[in-house]
Amino acid sequence: MYGLDAISAHNGWQLAALGISIVFTGLIILSLAISQIHKVLELWDRRYTYYQRIRKLVQRKHRSEATVSDPVLPKNVKESARQFKLLIEQMGEPFPLPKLLDFSKKCGLLHSHSSINDLLQAKLIIPDGKGYFFWNHEVEKNIKVSMKERSKI
Amino acid sequence: MVNLLIEFLSNTGFALAGYQNIVMILVGMVLIYLGIAKGYEPLLLIPIGFGILMGNIPVIRDFGLGIYEKGSFLNYMYYGVMHGIYPPLIFLGVGALTDFSTMLARPSLMLLGAAAQVGIFATFLGALALGFAPNEAASIGIIGGADGPTAIFLTAVLAPRLIGPIAIAAYSYMALVPVIQPPIMRLLTTRKERLIRMEESREVSKKEKLIFPIVGFLLCCFIAPGALPLLGMLFFGNLLKESIVAERLARAARSSIIDTVTILLGIAVGASTQGDVFLTSKSIGIFILGASAFAVATASGVIFAKFMNLFLRQKINPLIGAAGVSAVPNSARVVQIVGQKEDPSNFLLMHAMAPNISGVIGSAIAAGILWSFLGG
């Protein structure tokens, strides 16, 4: 058998069309994949920068979630909050609690354990979910605002 | 005494030679001439040419000398051809020699390598139309891939009887790339197109080059598992090269291994062209179809480059489409020469390497596909 009949009899048209389509598909997929390699590598090389950015975003989220409306603090806690805030500013954030405890003892603050406990309960010190803590500026602001409002009344 | 002398004389090549042997010996001499005097692929044509001389010395049958006689020296060499051992080893060396950076820098040029494979499938249809069986047609079509090892690899599994003519056709046309391609390239492009300058490629990082062989291997072989022996060795060779820590292995692959295998392959393929096996009407058909496969592959690459230009803001020089046939690096060199004839300061070689290398991958995928379609 010869000519077009031979091609049709052996499914030549289908084989050729499918064959060239697969070759094109294969090389298109490969070209797409390799065109992304340098982008993926760039992401990988900057992973620490991206990690820090994400971490900051998460921290902001935690802070806003931890906002307490109109908190009322006992007078002694307000005082220790002021002292501990200064200590934390010196230590840097985020910080481990044992370090804060140790630091406060060295600085001669009294009843460090119970003070830190009060600050934790008042959510002035909040966890970041990874074993570290940070100072909750939102709560602190709310406390200041509510104090001003009360003094006006 | 006289009887002994007559018996000896009747066993000599002079007495046993037929006209086919003489014709093939002349063909072998032409190939050796082309290799040495013209410098056309000498590393391939000289071993093949001498192999033809070896294969066409007439010997007494069942004397354990002929290439098709089990246990003969030539038959052991031929074993590597028949069982597809040599082509993957050559691909190992090619992988260890090849720098994929140009392709990684501009992956869109890989499409030109795919377009040139149209030659394979068009010739497959042509061979079917001329009355070849589908497995033979596929083996003839793969000549259009312009890749000798791939052609031998596929023919060994689909149509082993045609290995001789197909290998000779594939390697001869690969050697004749500087003669076959330029007229087609000029015919299909305008002067303005040939003058197009390509934008400089971005720099490719070491990590990219290192990741590519693994990603490329996994993707290609998941798509066409039939290409595993060829592409596996190609990408492995390239991984050895790019890893640096395995430099010794890479050096062996790109020098001693590929050289040894080229000698074995060339001699075995050449010797398989015994006159009575080679000089048939089928061989003539194979040579005609092989030439048309090359021409169609070159034309499809160039035309596809022009087609791509319809959508690209930064135009590509359509000449580089001709490098989509995988004769590495010959067809890329031809692109450079044709381009520089129009503008001596236009350097297209590195840009042409991208479709050239993707053509190697494309033809290996095509071979894998044809094997999976017709090998069962």
Nearest Cβ partner for B369 among A23, A30, A34: A23
For residue A67, pLDDT over 70 is answered with: no
ipTM of the complex: 0.87
User: Which pLDDT score is estimated for B248?
Assistant: 95
pTM exceeds 0.80, yes or no:
no
Neighbour tally for B103: CB within 10 Å: 26
pLDDT tier at A71, thresholds 50, 70, 90: low
User: Which pLDDT score is estimated for A73?
Assistant: 62
Interatomic CA distance for residues B335 and B80, integer angstroms: 34
* B185 shares contact with chain A (CB less than 8 Å): no
> In chain A, whose CA is at the least distance from the CA of B130?
A2
User: Which pLDDT score is estimated for B327?
Assistant: 83
- Please give the backbone phi and psi of residue A22, each rounded to the nearest 5 degrees, phi first: -65, -40
Interatomic CA distance for residues B320 and B349, integer angstroms: 8
User: Which pLDDT score is estimated for B264?
Assistant: 95
Taking CB atoms and an 8 Å limit, are A7 and B129 in contact across chains?
yes
Nearest Cβ partner for A22 among B113, B223, B374: B223
Question: Which of B124, B128, B222 is the best substitution to test chain A (most A C-beta atoms within 10 A)?
Answer: B128
Q: State the DSSP code for A69.
A: S
* B216 shares contact with chain A (CB less than 8 Å): yes
Q: State the DSSP code for B375.
A: -
B 237-296 residues inside an 8 A Cβ radius of A:
none
> In chain A, whose CA is at the least distance from the CA of B131?
A2
For residue A70, pLDDT over 60 is answered with: no
With beta carbons under 8 A apart, name residues in chain A contacting B321. none
- Please give the backbone phi and psi of residue A134, each rounded to the nearest 5 degrees, phi first: -145, 165
pLDDT tier at A149, thresholds 50, 70, 90: low
Taking CB atoms and an 8 Å limit, are A12 and B128 in contact across chains?
yes
Taking CB atoms and an 8 Å limit, are B204 and A35 in contact across chains?
no
pLDDT tier at A144, thresholds 50, 70, 90: low
| pLDDT higher at A124 or B302 | B302
> In chain B, whose CA is at the least distance from the CA of A13?
B125
Residue by residue, pLDDT tens for chain B (376 residues) are: 788 888 888 888 888 788 888 999 999 999 999 999 988 889 989 999 999 999 999 887 777 888 888 889 999 999 999 999 999 999 999 999 999 999 999 999 999 999 999 999 999 999 999 999 999 999 999 998 888 899 999 999 999 989 888 988 898 888 888 899 999 999 999 999 999 999 888 889 999 999 999 999 999 999 989 899 999 999 999 999 999 999 999 999 999 999 999 999 999 999 988 888 888 888 889 999 989 998 999 999 999 999 999 999 889 999 999 999 888 888 999 999 999 999 999 999 999 999 999 999 999 999 999 999 998 6
For residue range A39-56, what is the model confidence (pLDDT) as tens digits? 999 888 888 888 888 888
B 114-133 residues inside an 8 A Cβ radius of A:
114, 117-118, 120-122, 124-125, 128-131
Chain A residues interacting with chain B (CB cutoff of 8 angstroms): 1-4, 6-7, 10, 12-13, 15-20, 22-35, 37-38, 41
Taking CB atoms and an 8 Å limit, are B223 and A12 in contact across chains?
no
Cβ-based neighbours of B306, under 8 Å, separated by 6 or more: B188, B189, B193, B318, B321
Q: Find out if CATH 1.10.150 is the number for domain A69-152.
A: no
Helix (H, G, I), strand (E, B) or coil at B345: coil
Kind plus residue range of the DSSP H or E element containing A135:
strand A133-135
Contact of B89 with B258, CB cutoff 8 Å: yes
Interatomic CA distance for residues A130 and A128, integer angstroms: 6
| pLDDT higher at B49 or A75 | B49
Handedness of CA A106, A109, A114, A118 (dihedral sign): negative
Q: How far is the alpha carbon of B139 from chain A, nearest alpha carbon, in Å?
A: 13
C-alpha R_g of chain B: 21
Taking CB atoms and an 8 Å limit, are B365 and A2 in contact across chains?
no
Kind plus residue range of the DSSP H or E element containing A12:
helix A12-45
* B78 shares contact with chain A (CB less than 8 Å): no
With beta carbons under 8 A apart, name residues in chain B contacting A27. 110-111, 113-114, 358, 361-362, 365
Contact of B185 with B302, CB cutoff 8 Å: yes
With beta carbons under 8 A apart, name residues in chain A contacting B365. 22-23, 26-27
For residue range B75-119, what is the model confidence (pLDDT) as tens digits? 999 999 999 999 999 999 999 999 999 999 999 999 999 999 999
For residue range B339-361, what is the model confidence (pLDDT) as tens digits? 999 999 999 999 999 999 999 99
Both structure tokens of B152: 């031998």
User: Which pLDDT score is estimated for B66?
Assistant: 84
